[in-house]
Amino acid sequence: MCGIVGYVGPRECTDVLMSALSKLEYRGYDSAGIAVFDNGEIKVAKSKGRLKDLEEKMENTYKPSGHAGIGHTRWATHGEPSDINSHPHSGKRVTIVHNGIIENYKKLKDFLVSQGREFQSETDTEVVAQLLDYYYDGNPLDTIIKVMSEVRGSFALGIVFSDFRDVVYAVRRESPLIVGVGENESFIASDVPAILKYTKDYYLLEHDEIARLDMDGVKFYDKHKKEIIKEIKTADWDMDAAEKGGYEHFMLKEIYEQPTAIKTTISPRITDGLPNLEECGITPEKLREFNQIYVVACGTAMHAGLVGKYVIEKLARVPVTVDIASEFRYREPLVSDRDLVIVISQSGETADSLAAMRLAKELGAQTLAIVNAKGSSIAREADMLIYTHAGPEIAVASTKAYMVQIAVMYLLAFELALAVDAIDETECRRLTGLLQKTPDYIEEILKNKEDTQYIASSLITADSLLYIGRGLDYALSMEGSLKLKEISYIHSESYAAGELKHGTISLISDGMPVIAVATQKALFEKTVSNIKEVKARGAKVIMVCRDDYTPEKDVADYKFGLPDIDDIIMPMAAVVPLQLIAYYTSVLKGNDVDKPRNLAKSVTVE
Ligand code: AGP
């Protein structure tokens, strides 16, 4: 996934583009570039590396200056990160920036080469630039429409034509793109944080819609060249929400925002002490229609689905299958029109999850999206929608979004269990009350960061470690393992504690760290037995368990103590130390916590 921006207005364009791109670096940051109308000419500056490398390059060579232009920060898909592969890419008279994947780029490139066109880069984006240039007949709109009809795949494009000074065009298909409007100025951006410094007012560009930005304002066209009037939206975020707020990293800020995020997400969905999801189109009658539930998501969002599975099956006795979206899509799932498919996504733009939801709809299932990013593709295409209200999650490693995803899964599980008479109102009210108390428990846990810092210091020299647990603790160990891997770059693996003895226990070597999540009372003794098995083989065991348990020396070397709350709601508390352990391990390793290598915040490509 990449970030694209554009600007037309009275300000110094280069400054605006660089500032806007800095708010999109979480979308990709292996190279960056800008193209600016500079005294009537399009001047390009681009570089491998971060924005600061581009800034330095412009200071040392030439810094374009003007009042209109486009910019890009990249997460490489076609062609390694390099100066030549960084965006913008140009034809003779057209320069573009692109977020997405052109699926038929090879066929188009072969055609253009046969027409004598020469290419500089390995990217699919340059193919689009050259194709626009090939068809360009002096009318940008006609040219864009023609190219759109030939290109297959996903794209959000910022486009400038050399003979249309101070005019920026934008067009999208699948990849998100907004058009911001301020006082005598306008913007394009892949996401809202890029423009918040200048305006909160924006338009959502729909599939195959084109925008033209010039000094007189913005016009929109459909793919038949018909001008269209669009509804303006106002971002409900403010600059602070998209800034670090005094924390060293966005990730730490977002971990500490979790109590507020939970309250903001669940409070509007609780009436008289009971879950109430009617505003999302979900009623007890609707919930009773379903035979089976599928949860489809990627990464951390999928782990949130696993917690939901355990809770729904335990309380409502309705079968739940959790699928990795990229697997669901290709295993010919046995989804029927009597099933509910829940798609969980922070960004609402994850290509695999979006495609999985579309497949579920083709198979006749009803779809429910649990999404954080307002107005995102998954949010807009689902039959039913529950927004989480975590605010912008900037750090690549998801924390508060995960927390509110499981909070919503709890509400859904409680309402479903009540709807099918698996629990009565008293029990439903008790469980909902437990959920409402979790922000307080988390506030308490967040006061004890020292223990997680100590644990982190014991992990940084490890080559590999295990996270183990049973039941809900196993679901949590998956999330803890992913958090550690993606930001500390230390290999880890989550494993069902009871399964270790069937092979994987051979990995245990002297001093190998094992983080054992043991919060489920009903499984506690069995988990302790499994912990003793690894301890006896030399493991260095860190237990995440209730504070009132003191492990013997033959069980654990260290403990992170949790408050004594009901087993079923424990994941909301137990995940917090796992997040902090990963965070501090990454900090101690000197990694870029918010923008870990090889990753991007939302993977809008397959
Ligand atoms: C989470 O820490 C990861 N960054 C990643 O696994 C993420 O959860 C996954 O890509 C899904 O993203 P989404 O929630 O935006 O769909």
- Summarize pLDDT for 370-429 with one digit per residue, the tens: 999 888 899 999 999 999 999 888 899 999 999 999 999 999 999 999 999 999 999 999
- Nearest-atom index, ligand 1, CA of 398: 2
- Nearest-atom index, ligand 1, CA of 397: 2
**Joined tokens for residue 32:** 């960056």
> What's the CA gap between 410 and 307, in Å, rounded?
9
For the annotated catalytic residues, the residue numbers are: 2, 601
> What's the CA gap between 208 and 153, in Å, rounded?
12
Q: What is the pLDDT of residue 272?
A: 94
The per-residue pLDDT for range 20-49, each reduced to its tens digit, is 999 887 767 788 999 999 999 999 999 998
The per-residue pLDDT for range 260-311, each reduced to its tens digit, is 999 999 999 999 999 999 989 899 999 999 999 999 999 999 999 999 999 9
Distance of CA 585 from the midpoint of ligand 1 (Å): 20
- Residue pair 378/367 in contact by the 8 Å Cβ criterion: no
> What's the CA gap between 380 and 373, in Å, rounded?
11
Residue 300 beta carbon below 6 angstroms from any ligand 1 atom = yes
- Residue pair 516/531 in contact by the 8 Å Cβ criterion: yes
Choose the residue to mutate in 251, 346, 374 for probing ligand 1, maximizing ligand atoms within 8 Å of C-beta: 346
Task: Specify the residue for token string 């626009």.
Answer: 132
Q: Which amino acid is located at 6 in the chain?
A: G
Residue 159 beta carbon below 6 angstroms from any ligand 1 atom = no
- Residue pair 180/202 in contact by the 8 Å Cβ criterion: yes
Residue 376 beta carbon below 6 angstroms from any ligand 1 atom = no
- Residue pair 31/76 in contact by the 8 Å Cβ criterion: yes
Residue 299 beta carbon below 6 angstroms from any ligand 1 atom = yes
Report pTM. 0.78
SS3 (DSSP) at 399: coil
Choose the residue to mutate in 300, 376, 479, 494 for probing ligand 1, maximizing ligand atoms within 8 Å of C-beta: 300
> What's the CA gap between 530 and 193, in Å, rounded?
46
The per-residue pLDDT for range 439-479, each reduced to its tens digit, is 999 999 999 999 999 999 999 999 999 999 999 999 999 99
Strands (E), 145-277: 155-161, 168-173, 178-182, 185-189, 201-204, 210-214, 217-221, 227-228, 233-234, 270-271, 274-275
Q: Average pLDDT over the chain, rounded to whole?
A: 94
> What's the CA gap between 587 and 584, in Å, rounded?
5
Distance of CA 97 from the midpoint of ligand 1 (Å): 24
Distance of CA 344 from the midpoint of ligand 1 (Å): 10
Closest residue by Cα to atom 7, ligand 1, is 299
- Residue pair 568/437 in contact by the 8 Å Cβ criterion: no
> What's the CA gap between 532 and 435, in Å, rounded?
33
Task: Specify the residue for token string 């029990």.
Answer: 427
> What's the CA gap between 118 and 109, in Å, rounded?
9
Residue 486 beta carbon below 6 angstroms from any ligand 1 atom = yes
What's the length of the chain?
606
Q: Mind spelling out the 3-state secondary structure of 240-266?
A: HHHCCCCCCCHHHHHHHCHHHHHHHHH
Residue 350 beta carbon below 6 angstroms from any ligand 1 atom = yes
Residue 575 beta carbon below 6 angstroms from any ligand 1 atom = no
> What's the CA gap between 72 and 60, in Å, rounded?
20
- DSSP element (H, E) containing 352: helix 351-362
The CA-atom distances, in angstroms, between 260 and each of 146, 371, 398, 436, 568 are 48, 17, 16, 11, 21
The CA-atom distances, in angstroms, between 46 and each of 2, 53, 261, 292, 530 are 15, 9, 38, 51, 54
Q: Is the pLDDT of residue 488 over 90?
A: yes
Sign of CA dihedral 348, 351, 352, 355: positive
Residue 86 beta carbon below 6 angstroms from any ligand 1 atom = no
> What's the CA gap between 88 and 447, in Å, rounded?
46
Distance of CA 325 from the midpoint of ligand 1 (Å): 11
Distance of CA 1 from the midpoint of ligand 1 (Å): 12
Q: Out of 76-80, 177-181, 596-600, which region has the weakest mean confidence (pLDDT)?
A: 76-80
